Amino acid sequence: MSSCLFCKILAGEISATRVYEDERLIAFNDINPQAPMHVLVVPKQHIATLNDLAGDDDDLVGAMVRAAAKIARDRGHDGPGYRTVFNCNAQAGQTVFHIHLHVLGGRVMTWPPG
């Protein structure tokens, strides 16, 4: 989708620091990190929100979560803990309408989130 920021990152039109890639996903550092590790796991397929997922996407979403766990483990955050977040639509704070899984670690997290 030509107007989508994350599709532009996927196409290499906007730079990002990639930390993981496979056939279905990329992951890159968030430009405005909210923790010492703040990575976004992004499918190569454009899907606007979680509301747009279909049954065929179950494997893709599973792969996103497994990639998040690998990224956290590779950085030593598996033991202390880390947080994963999908924001869906405006009230939850979604600003980029191409699904992405936030992976945050390296500091104590509070609950409930803001």
State the binding partner of 83 from ligand 5GP, Zn ion, none, CB within 5 to 8 A by kind. Answer: none
Give the residue with the Cβ less far from Zn ion, 52 or 74: 52
The β-bridge partners of 102 are: 40, 85
- Shortest distance, position 47 Cβ to ligand 5GP, whole Å: 13
Enclosing H/E stretch for 37: strand 37-43
Stretch that binds ligand 5GP, among 52-60, 69-77, 86-94, 105-113 (CB under 6 A): 86-94
- Three-class SS state of 26: strand
- Shortest distance, position 108 Cβ to ligand 5GP, whole Å: 19
C-beta separation of 37 from 73 below 8 A: no
